[in-house]
């Protein structure tokens, strides 16, 4: 019997995809962001509802599923899963709010606590409503690592409040901080994971792998990018026969062959979304000086400007010059009038530009990619990463089209990737859940890395 799940706050579908690959049928999903719904529906199916969960409760979801399946009574739901978006748990979100407080622009209470008054931080209660209504055999809830240090209005740990909510519903809950890099994802993406079960036993997390996949293994087969256009110079990927790393080759084979509905593996030679922003004249002069720290000392933006003005001038593209210091060293064209490029204040944006290391997992991809990719400068090319490279780092297969057939903008594609759950991480969790419910998963991490035995993937 196939296990059935509902995905709340589904985003572009990273969690749903991983669960489906493991063998769980996601029969209903909900997401309020239009672009994310377009991406989800294009790649995973029309079982998703575009709605605000605060006005689309579990009763409406039950009716929606019934209408799709043509049943008078809904079949049991085995798993409710999702990641309530809680910006106050994020260290980035809290720092922004604290700045508003200092400037007198924020009027919320409990400003000294990590958990800031924000209605969105209560969305986990909507998750609780779905668990209460459907009484699934298990639930899976994920959130950012900042949740561990977040406080309630009374100053108590937010984690304890959440555990108490689920305990009242009759669930045994395990909570743990996990990194996607521990499950073969080439990204050090840490998330707090709650697993709950109605059984008398305590739910288990999948076993972490004894090695981590470096960033290079996710992108080394992709063609080079023309920095003046942001487009790939070729549409051909390097043959897998030229890939040296065993784990890297296995990872790329999986991403190249995987069909997004999870029903089968299917070879795809198509290279989609391998595109990024054009590199402007200022950045063409700066990027070559950025060092990741992999082979030589790390060099950030603050180490380059204004300390290396003379060297920067020599690297400006033909026709471009730097104005006088009194004018802010703007980068301008020698003869044409038009756009000029200013410099970021190094005292405020010292780490604005960072080159990624190729020999270790990528830092966490974030939704800010929609605005710029300066925190993610390519390890060996002088430009920011492409949409496809970001998707690879997140473990999305090459067949997953973030443009939804060309209907979703370039910037939104980056945003959806930055917000997503890494599908391979979700696969590991899904396979563990299936085993705990007495069944055999369709795929697990050993499907990608065959030297691993299924018995080695459970605690």
Domains of the chain: 4-211+421-457 (3.40.50.150), 281-385 (no CATH)
Q: How confident is the model at residue 368 (pLDDT cuts 50, 70, 90)?
A: very high
Find the mean pLDDT for residues 201-217: 96
Query: Tokens at residue 176, please?
Result: 């743990």
* pLDDT of residue 215 exceeding 70: yes
Comparing 17-31, 118-132, 370-384, which segment has the lowest mean pLDDT?
118-132
Find the mean pLDDT for residues 340-344: 95
Find the mean pLDDT for residues 259-267: 64
113 or 403, which is more confident: 403
Find the mean pLDDT for residues 85-105: 50
Which residue in the block uniquely carries the two structure tokens 């409503």? Answer: 129
Q: How confident is the model at residue 95 (pLDDT cuts 50, 70, 90)?
A: very low
At residue 52's C-alpha, the angle toward residues 47 and 58, to 5°, is 60
* pLDDT of residue 307 exceeding 70: yes
Contact 82, 127 (CB under 8 A): yes
Q: How confident is the model at residue 271 (pLDDT cuts 50, 70, 90)?
A: confident
Q: How high is the pLDDT of residue 125?
A: 85
* pLDDT of residue 101 exceeding 70: no
98 or 433, which is more confident: 433
Find the mean pLDDT for residues 422-441: 97
* pLDDT of residue 116 exceeding 60: no
Q: How high is the pLDDT of residue 455?
A: 59
* pLDDT of residue 45 exceeding 80: yes
| Residue 426, H or E segment | helix 423-436
**CA proximity to 247, closest of 448, 96, 22:** 448
Find the mean pLDDT for residues 15-32: 97
* pLDDT of residue 359 exceeding 60: yes
Q: How high is the pLDDT of residue 337?
A: 81
All residues at 6 or more sequence positions from 119 whose CB lies less than 8 Å from its CB, including other chains: none
Map residue 250 onto helix, strand or coil: helix
Name the H helices within 118-262.
124-134, 158-168, 216-219, 246-257
44 or 265, which is more confident: 44
| Mean of pLDDT over the chain | 89
Q: Mutual orientation of helices 58-69 and 124-134 as an angle, nearest 10°?
A: 50
* pLDDT of residue 305 exceeding 50: yes
* pLDDT of residue 91 exceeding 50: no
Q: How high is the pLDDT of residue 263?
A: 59
Q: How high is the pLDDT of residue 103?
A: 59
Comparing 25-34, 96-105, 269-278, 427-436, which segment has the lowest mean pLDDT?
96-105
**Rg for the chain (alpha carbons), in Å?**
23
Comparing 60-64, 79-83, 159-163, 211-215, which segment has the lowest mean pLDDT?
159-163
> What pTM was estimated for this model as a whole?
0.91
CB-based burial label for 202 (10 Å; 0-12, 13-18, 19+): exposed
Find the Cα–Cα–Cα–Cα dihedral 121, 392, 10, 150, rounded to 10°.
Answer: -20
* pLDDT of residue 92 exceeding 50: no
* pLDDT of residue 105 exceeding 90: no
Q: How confident is the model at residue 259 (pLDDT cuts 50, 70, 90)?
A: confident
Find the mean pLDDT for residues 183-194: 97
340 φ/ψ angles, rounded to the nearest 5 degrees: -120, 160
42 or 148, which is more confident: 42
Strands 4-8 and 25-31: parallel
Q: How confident is the model at residue 436 (pLDDT cuts 50, 70, 90)?
A: very high
All residues at 6 or more sequence positions from 217 whose CB lies less than 8 Å from its CB, including other chains: 186, 243, 245, 247, 248, 251, 252
**CA proximity to 219, closest of 390, 355, 397:** 390
* pLDDT of residue 94 exceeding 50: no
């Amino acid at each position: 019997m196939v296990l059935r799940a509902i995905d709340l706050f589904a985003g572009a579908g990273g969690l749903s995809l991983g669960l489906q690959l493991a063998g769980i049928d996601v029969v209903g999903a909900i997401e309020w962001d239009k672009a994310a719904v377009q991406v989800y529906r294009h790649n995973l199916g029309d079982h998703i509802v575009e709605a605000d969960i605060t006005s689309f409760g579990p009763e409406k979801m039950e009716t929606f599923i019934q209408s799709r399946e043509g049943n008078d009574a809904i079949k049991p739901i085995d798993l409710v899963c999702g990641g309530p978006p809680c910006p106050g748990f994020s260290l980035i979100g809290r720092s922004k709010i604290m700045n508003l407080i200092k400037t007198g622009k924020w009027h919320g209470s409990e400003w000294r606590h990590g958990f800031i008054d924000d209605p969105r931080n209560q969305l986990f209660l909507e998750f609780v409503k779905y668990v209460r209504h459907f009484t699934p055999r298990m639930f899976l809830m994920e959130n950012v690592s900042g949740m561990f240090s977040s406080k309630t209005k009374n100053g108590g740990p937010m984690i304890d409040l959440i555990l108490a909510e689920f305990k009242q519903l009759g669930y045994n809950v395990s909570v743990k901080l996990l990194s996607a890099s521990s499950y073969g994802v080439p990204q050090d993406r840490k998330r707090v994971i709650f697993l709950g079960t109605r059984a008398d036993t305590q739910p288990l997390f999948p076993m972490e792998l004894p090695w981590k996949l470096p960033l290079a293994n996710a992108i080394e087969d992709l063609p080079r990018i023309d920095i003046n256009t942001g487009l790939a110079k070729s549409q051909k990927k390097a043959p897998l026969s030229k890939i040296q790393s065993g784990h890297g080759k296995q990872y790329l084979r999986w991403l190249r062959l995987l069909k997004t509905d999870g029903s089968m593996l299917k070879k795809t030679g198509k290279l989609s979304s391998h595109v990024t922003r054009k590199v402007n004249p200022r950045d063409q002069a700066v990027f070559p000086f950025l060092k990741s720290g992999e082979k030589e000392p790390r060099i950030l933006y603050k180490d380059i400007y204004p300390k290396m003005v003379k060297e920067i001038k020599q690297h400006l593209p033909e026709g471009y010059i730097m104005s006088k210091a009194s004018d802010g060293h703007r980068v301008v064209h020698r003869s044409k009038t038009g756009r000029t490029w200013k410099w970021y204040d190094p005292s405020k944006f010292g780490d604005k530009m960072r080159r990624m290391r190729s020999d270790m997992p990528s830092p966490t991809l974030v939704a800010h990619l929609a605005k710029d990719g300066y925190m993610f400068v390519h390890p060996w090319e002088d430009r920011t990463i492409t949409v496809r490279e970001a998707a690879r780092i997140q473990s999305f297969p090459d067949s997953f089209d973030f443009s939804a057939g060309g209907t979703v903008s370039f910037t939104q594609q980056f945003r959806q990737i930055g917000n997503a759950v890494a599908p391979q991480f979700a696969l590991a969790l899904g396979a563990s859940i299936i085993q705990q419910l007495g069944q055999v998963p369709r795929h697990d991490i050993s499907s990608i890395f065959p030297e691993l035995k299924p018995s080695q993937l459970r605690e």
